[in-house]
Amino acid sequence: MTYINLHLNERAVLVRHGKPARALGPGRYTFWKRYEVIRWNTDDLVFTGPAAVIAALPEAWYATVRLGITQRAVVTCDERPVKFLRPGVHRIWTLDTRVAVQLYDVNGPAPELTDELRAVIPAGEIVEAQVRQFERGLKYVQGRFEGILEPGRYTFWNHPAARVAVQVLDARLQQLKIEGQELMTKDKVTLRLTLTAEYAPTDAPTTVHAVADVKDALYLAVQLAAREFVAGVTLDELLEGRDALTRYLEGQVVPRAEQFGVRVQRVGVKDVILPGEMKLLLNKVIEAEKAAAANVIMRREDAAATRNMANTAKVIAENPVLMRLKELETMKDIAAQIDELKLVMGADGFTHLLPFASGAKEN
């Protein structure tokens, strides 16, 4: 003889010679050793077993749930998700009245995923996507574009008949920097350009479907336009007409970008880097040009000053009184700069300075 103890959360079936004999609930049982015992833990909620053995269980102990190809189910206990069920036949212990089954149709909306539900449902069964305010979402079903998702949180059933994928695209203004472009001008001068572009996707489906990588496509468009322009101008024309290069880039790049759903807001030249020898040569040229300009200005000023002096001399020559006034004004300026004035002269000079000093009377 042998015996078994079945706890409150256990059930069993005695099997003799491969045939179910009877079902056992909680308690202590003694039986011959020739019996085999098949036992279950009802806390697992979902159970399996041979059909003949399950048929020996009382129908009040369990429920059978049959799910079609488009159906899914979640077994809950105390309203907490415990098991996820896919298509097929499932048997669930119903001994606990807190156990329930929530059915879903994959052709309908998916449930809002809580942390508990997310822990039960396999990752491949539901596609979860979040589209932020500055983004746009693109929904694909079986590889076909279905529509644009506005900002928000989304969940979709993902099953063999409708594989769902969501691609999120950043719609903010973005900057593209094209550095170190070595180009040759028309007069065979090699230089390096650094270009910049600001762009933003305006048509999300076109941006994703037209090119594999919108940033690479825009990079190539700006690069080719810059090479074409620089190859057709000399170095002097390039340096004097950077605005012309900017206008040319905009004229070439903006229409091209619109073809793959992108609005180019600005494109231009950030830096023009010349070889060291060319920098020295240009500095010498600029220095010579500035020196020549300075000489022209100095000569112009000298000519103007000489002309003014000639005009002044002519006026003074025609007006002796003006000459005398000019002398007095000059003497006044000199006298203002000295503290003491000494006159050294002979007796004749003194007589002329003071004509009445010898006693003569004025007539």
Identify the pLDDT of residue 274. 74
In this predicted structure, the answer to whether residue 236 has a pLDDT above a threshold of 90 is: no
Q: Per-residue pLDDT averaged across 279-307, rounded?
A: 66
Percent of the chain with pLDDT over 70: 87
Cβ atoms of 262 and 199 within 8 Å: the answer is yes
Lowest mean pLDDT among 157-161, 174-178, 265-269, 282-286: 282-286
Cβ atoms of 1 and 33 within 8 Å: the answer is yes
Comparing 256 with 296, the larger pLDDT belongs to 256
Lowest mean pLDDT among 60-64, 181-185, 352-356, 358-362: 358-362
Q: How far apart are CA 10 and CA 172, in angstroms?
A: 60
Domains plus CATH for the chain?
174-274 (3.30.479.30)
Q: How far apart are CA 307 and CA 293, in angstroms?
A: 21
In this predicted structure, the answer to whether residue 276 has a pLDDT above a threshold of 70 is: no
Identify the pLDDT of residue 31. 81
80-85 vs 46-47, strand pairing mode: unpaired
161 Cβ contact partners less than 8 Å away, ≥ 6 residues apart: 69, 70, 106
Identify the pLDDT of residue 253. 92
Angle at 267 between CA 262 and CA 273, to 5 degrees: 140
Identify the pLDDT of residue 363. 46
For residue 341, give the DSSP letter.
-
In this predicted structure, the answer to whether residue 226 has a pLDDT above a threshold of 80 is: yes
Tell whether the torsion through CA atoms of 207, 210, 216 and 218 is positive or negative. negative
Q: Per-residue pLDDT averaged across 225-242, rounded?
A: 84
